[in-house]
Amino acid sequence: MRIPGLSAFCHDSAAAMLEDGVVTVAAQEERFSRCKHDGGVPTRAVRYCLEAAGCGAADVDRIVCADRPLPAFLRLPGSGALDAPHPARSAVPRPAAESPGQPERVRRAMPWPEARVHAAGHRESQAAAAFFPSPFERAVVLVLDGARAGAGTAVGVGRGNSVSLEREIPAPHALGLLYSAVTRYLGFTVNGGEYKVMGLAPYGEPRYRNLIRDTLIAFEPDGTFRLNRAFFPHSLGLAATGGRLERLFGRPARTPEQAPLTPFHMDVAASLQAVTEEAVLRLTRALARDHGLPNLCLAGDLALNCVANGKVLRDGAFDAVWVQPAAGDAGKAVGAALAAWHHHLDKPRRPAPDGRDGMRGARLGPAFGQAGVERRLRAAGAVFHVLDDTALLEATVDALVAEKVVGWFQGRMEFGPRALGGRSILADPRSPRMQRTLNLKIKYRENFRPFAPAVLREAAAEWFDLEADSPYMLFAAPVREAHRRAMTEDEKALFGIDKLNVVRATIPAVTHVDYSARVQTVDGATSPRFHALIRRFGARTGCPVVVNTSFNVRGEPIVSTPEDAFRCFMGTEMDTLVVGNCLLHKAEQESDNPGQPPSRERLIHHCL
């Protein structure tokens, strides 16, 4: 039985395919439209899912949307809704009322205009995405999100093939809303700039923590929280909140992309992150105490805050924590399909082998065979060498050791915001120059942004204070003391962005200014070629770690096709590109203007 799941009309639209209860395909619309965070109807992603599953629209059993109501879909003829009076089990079907005036563009966009369309519910889809793919038979489920769809925080319990949502904190009381509001105040884009605030926080001191705690948020004895509605008038949006924040902090909001970042901005970021971590820890400790279960599953936009996740993991209130790799809106496509399968159809869960989760390493997107790669690169005008596996890995290690930046395009594309070795940019973490090089000459983004280490799963505990797997780069952990460098007194006295260029560890390119790192553990069974590359790099250097960042530049989605990879390669100062078994050197390529970033006009064109 095939069930497509869809998420749309928020941000990061996506589609997924469930086949007999197993997630086999999933992708975000942005990877095909080339418009970052595309929130429209995911027609291209749907088309990919159908093609990958080898079926047409007539071959699917039902289509499940992640929001209830989802007007553009529920207006399709013959639609239905997965609905229930209580959000504990949003899977009892009942007809949705037909509404007049459906936009014609939606009729044309969907490949199944006569099919029965169902809606699983926004929060229910997120809860399903959090629990059903997890490796746990029972777990507490926590959704931490913005204030869309009525609630920003939902708590439930997953058991077997059921997720029951027991409690919600109603809008506008959402940690995601607080984080987004301050993100906007600091001059970063909402639904995209929150990562920047998290990365900026270690440069500052939490001087405004008490101000935020006393004014913007109140903690309840049961671990829940409330936002100050005077600052978050839900009907007026973040624009009104921004003016109130200006008066609270006594300074105007930072002009996006123009005004410099000052110690004040860094201190605000540090304060926001500290309060967020406190709120999450208060809540997770209360949930562990109240439910007595050893496992926790997380989803929602705020579940992508790897620093807070790392604190929850090390806190020990729960023995194990699993986070949906596509924790934001994209993951609702997976959750919607799973909610229909387990709740409406009452199908049992099939545990993944070897205790693994059901997301298949998040490698759920398109892949390209070697013949197709060569044909596509040749058509794009690329000059390349075809090497066997051994020679390819040796040549890639040669490039990394020589401090060259490598584009790495292998196998299926990742689902979710992280590049995990399928669509990655790789570099030597031992280089003290690499963090600056990657930010300014490859990614074309702010110089304070940190980079993540990809480490062999079997070697992770030797390099990081991490007692669990982190295959999806969703837990931050301290670098082990043995790999740290003691700072001088003068270095300790530095503050703000001056901390950036201090070498703190033997792997400075992935060690943040607070000695933390956003770790990805690489498993040979899930990512065999990526694992083999890191193993060879470790054998050569004694360091089984590489820098891993997403294969894109600022303002663009992660590359999807070999052509995307070649364009990004040629539009940056990247040195080497590896696509399948094809090796490309920048010096051998013909270009009228090599080494230049993609033009603003081209970026705009992709989003039209």
DSSP conformation letters of 279-340? HHHHHHHHHHHHH--SEEEEESGGGG-HHHHHHHHHH-SSSEEEE-TTTTGGGHHHHHHHHI
Residue 175 vs residues 44, 185, 279, 288, 310: alpha-carbon distances, Å: 32, 15, 8, 19, 17
Which residue in 554, 576, 308 sits closest to 427, CA to CA?
576
Q: Give the number of other CB atoms < 10 A from CB of residue 463.
A: 25
Alpha-carbon span 536 to 397, nearest angstrom: 7
Alpha-carbon span 313 to 327, nearest angstrom: 17
Q: Residue 485: its pLDDT value, please?
A: 93
Q: Residue 224: its pLDDT value, please?
A: 93
Architecture per CATH, domain 2-127+330-362, reads as 2-Layer Sandwich (3.30)
Residue 18 vs residues 83, 336, 418, 460, 530: alpha-carbon distances, Å: 20, 10, 22, 32, 26
Q: Residue 232: its pLDDT value, please?
A: 83
What's the chain's length in residues?
608
Identify the segments of the chain with pLDDT beneath 70: 68-116, 147-151, 234-240, 257, 591-608
What pTM was estimated for this model as a whole?
0.90
DSSP conformation letters of 130-142? HHTTSS-SEEEEE
Amino acid making up residue 356: R
Alpha-carbon span 276 to 589, nearest angstrom: 47
Alpha-carbon span 445 to 277, nearest angstrom: 26
Residue 77 CB partners (closer than 8 Å, separation 6+): 98, 113, 114
- Return the residue matching tokens 């970052």: 36
User: What residue segments make up the domains of the chain, in order of their start?
Assistant: 2-127+330-362, 134-323, 370-606
Q: Residue 497: its pLDDT value, please?
A: 81
Q: Residue 413: its pLDDT value, please?
A: 98
| CATH number, domain 134-323, options 3.90.180.10, 3.30.56.10, 3.30.420.40, 1.10.540.10 | 3.30.420.40
| Three-state DSSP state, 456 | strand
Q: 54-65, pLDDT tens digit by residue?
A: 998 888 888 888
What are the φ and ψ backbone dihedral angles of 288, each rounded to 5 degrees?
A: -65, -40
What are the φ and ψ backbone dihedral angles of 231, each rounded to 5 degrees?
A: -95, -20
Regarding the domain delimited by 370-606, which CATH topology (the fold level of the hierarchy) does it fall under? DHBP synthase (3.90.870)
Residue 326 CB partners (closer than 8 Å, separation 6+): 14, 26, 28, 129, 334, 362, 415, 416, 417
Amino acid making up residue 224: T
For helices 306-315 and 263-291, what crossing angle results, to 10°? 40
**Fold agreement (134-323, 370-606):** no
